[in-house]
Amino acid sequence: MLMPTDSSHVSRLALDHFRSWESVVLDFAPRVNVLVGRNGIGKTNIVEALEFVAAGSSHRTNSSRTLIARGATHATVRVNLEENLEITSTSEPPTSPRTTTLEATIPTRGAIRSRVNAGPSRYFRDIAGMLKAVVFSPRDQLTVQGDPAARRAFIDQTATMLFADYYDLHQRFQQIGRQRAAVLKQLGKVDDPQMAQLLYPQLETWTSEFINASIALTVRRREVVRRLSGPFSRIARQLSDDPSPSASAALDYQPSFAEVEDVLGGANEAEWPAAPDFEVSADNLEKMRQSIAQHFQRLLAGEQARGISLIGPQRDDMSVTLDGEPARDYASNGEMWTLALALRMAQFECLSTSSKPILILDDVFAQLDEERRLRILRFAREQGQVFITVAARSDIPELHDDSTTRIIDVEKLAQKSQLDEQLAAMAAQLSQQRAAQSDGGQTGKTEDTGDGEARGSEARADEAHEDDEAGDTGE
């Protein structure tokens, strides 16, 4: 009998017009992959592409359009996800690893599209969470000490990889929020009472839609924080310089719609909405709707004046406390790093229910002291596939280039990518010249033999499952 294991890994990545990479293909080892190169050469862009395919977001930007190379109309990321199959019966012949190709296309305008195994075009929601990734980066400290937007982004990214419906739900909430805000802005500018009376029914409709979407989003975010809370407190205590029980770190979800927490907090735990559908009882749902609608009525004048929704999930937060005090106000720099690492490790644990996520360590070693470097390395060695970006090999203690580790020289990779671009441009120019000569004086139809033809990363990525000897393009 063939059973899937948790040894799925990214075997190949192909990028077109993604950030600094016009076209590049990389092959990865199943265990440890180290991308080495000076700052600004494009190391983080490579691992950022993996993160984007996993969750439809990046730890570096709030806008997917910044991922598109300058002058391009779109960016495309293709990932070959290889799942090894374990043979549990000696009577069955060995099997080759099963490969799934995930593709995400990011346009300058319009929705992000996706494909699975070069199939029909779909929305990104159809591949969100199929690959799971956890990223440790120098920006993680902002999750603790930054503004609420950083913590909301952390919750949203985790929820996207945990719950199949979350990405689509979050997108729909944002669209409804924009529509409601547009009507509020119109009302704020209207002086004619009759025109205002025409707009109020629209506002009522969008407010109702906004409340429904917000409740669904809030109960899922609440569940994410609940799942993170236990592992976070335990891991923070293990990482702390003071591991005594009295030194406690904690998470607490702080929804803008306190009405949701008021209803659920007073309910029995058995009545709490649970995955996968997060169904709220009709009685509790009606209580939430009525309370939130009344809250909106009290805020109507202020919302019209400012043209925005003053309450809702766009104003949620998650408190991170240390010994009962807000960490952003009282924690030292070292404690901030400890809490940030604990958050990521807790995220990794929560996402490891069926299979382990890929682990990305993006330029973290230069920011950490020796003790924290060793802690995070010990954690990484216990996981499945790991991606590490560093400016120099010496940044990682005890780094060995062995059978389980692939060292990728990103500087050489960038040079090769630039050379490929030049060859492609020369091939295109040659093809144009031949076509001009053919049109000018030759009779009959000649066929281009393809000399110098540049094969793009799309073709190479689609052939990944046929390539038995995929070498490291960075070596």
Binding annotation for ATP? 37-44
**3-class DSSP state of 72:** coil
Amino acid at 357: P
| C-alpha distances in Å from residue 79, one per residue of 25, 27, 296, 325, 342 | 10, 10, 45, 43, 28
d(CA 336, CA 340): 6
Judge contact between 70 and 21, C-beta under 8 A.
no
Token output for 207: 């407010």
Token output for 329: 């106000």
Residue 3 bridge partners (DSSP): 86
d(CA 296, CA 277): 27
Phi-psi category of residue 348: left, alpha or beta, with phi > 0 → left and psi -120 to 50 → alpha: alpha
DSSP-derived secondary structure for 142-160: HHHHS-HHHHHHHHHHHHH
Residues forming the annotated binding site?
37-44
Residue with tokens 């093809």: 431
List of E strands, 19-172: 21-27, 32-36, 74-83, 85-87, 98-107, 113-116, 122-123, 133-136
Backbone angles phi, psi at 27, to 5 degrees: -110, 140
Token output for 344: 């990521």
Residue with tokens 């924290």: 372
Backbone angles phi, psi at 253, to 5 degrees: -75, 130
CB neighbour list of residue 472: distance below 8 Å, 6 or more residues apart: 26, 27, 406, 408
d(CA 70, CA 41): 16
**CA atoms within a 13 Å half-sphere pointing along the CA-CB vector of 381:** 11
Virtual CA dihedral for 217, 221, 223, 227, nearest 10 degrees?
A: 160
d(CA 89, CA 75): 44
* Beta strand 98-107 pairing with 85-87: unpaired
